[in-house]
Amino acid sequence: MDLNLQGKVALIIASSQGLGKGIAAELVKEGANVMLTGRDQDKLQAAQAELEQLGTGKVAYHPVDITNPDDIQRLVQVTRDTFGTIDILVNNAGGPPAGTFEQFSDEQWQAAFELNLLSYIRVIREVLPDLKKQGGRIINMASSSIKVPIPGLLLSNTFRAGIVGLTKTLAEELAPYNILVNTVAPGRIATDRVAFLDDVKAQKTGKTREQVEEMSKQSIPLGRYGTVEEFAKVVTFLVSDASSYITGSSILIDGGMIKSI
């Protein structure tokens, strides 16, 4: 199957580590040019050096606070200056704090909104002129909570659902320009974020993280956490020419964990 990603330009938000970095790695292997982003310049520099060894795609990076609209504008312009245009956007952001309704202030709600939903809107707005010229792909990263809310993750549950509404609406609005927009929803993928959430649950329940992980695996039909590479390969397919008739979809990558239809 020819994915036709050679020479395509991908802007991947929050890609110095975790799922974002994994997606960048798969795209570089396919010959795409990738712009990495994140707050930590040292992590970005290390990721660039690592990914450049994987394939023919070029790798650049630009530090950014994704909640700052001026930073977003600079990021998109730097990507254009570096690679000429943008064909693929992968929206991603770190998860907001865990907690329940009565624990959160207005300031925490606003911060989560700006990080986990408004940042997506702002980046899409900035890259849209490029995508409208030649078509392209937008992937909005969410969570399995778009199907089944996760206890203790109220902020995430709320704004991840908003991502689905954004994706569905944009898929219809942007279809005439051959811009395909999809949501990807990871389940229990072996990342630092999932390890942190397992730690939080372990502290609350008096169990070890290993015990919490084993309990989680029992709820997954495949009996294990997914790998970053497995997740990234699905995203790579979705941003390729091989997925030319998929838009507005929410795709779970969860080993069968979510039982809802």
Strand 88-91: give its sheet, edge to edge: 59-63, 33-38, 9-12, 88-91, 136-141, 179-186, 250-253
Q: pLDDT value at position 246?
A: 98
| Burial of 178 from C-beta contacts in 10 A (0-12 / 13-18 / 19+) | middle
Flag whether 56 is in a domain.
yes
Q: Is the pLDDT of residue 87 over 90?
A: yes
Domain count, the chain: 1
Q: Check pLDDT > 90 for residue 126.
A: yes
Asked whether residue 58 carries a pLDDT value surpassing 90, the answer given is: yes
- Provide the 3-class DSSP secondary structure of residue 82: helix
Q: What CATH number did the domain enclosing 146 receive?
A: 3.40.50.720
Q: Which element (helix H / strand E) includes 181?
A: strand 179-186
Residue 252 inside a domain? The answer is no
Widest distance between CA atoms in the chain? 55
pLDDT higher than threshold 90 for residue 174: yes
Quick check: is 20 in a domain? yes
In a domain, 36, yes or no: yes
Is residue 196 in a domain? no
Judge whether 63 lies within some domain: yes
What domain range is 63 assigned to?
9-187+228-244
Per-residue pLDDT tens digits for 127-160: 999 999 999 999 999 999 999 999 989 999 999 9
196-245 per-position pLDDT tens digit: 888 888 888 888 888 888 888 999 999 999 999 999 999 999 999 999 99
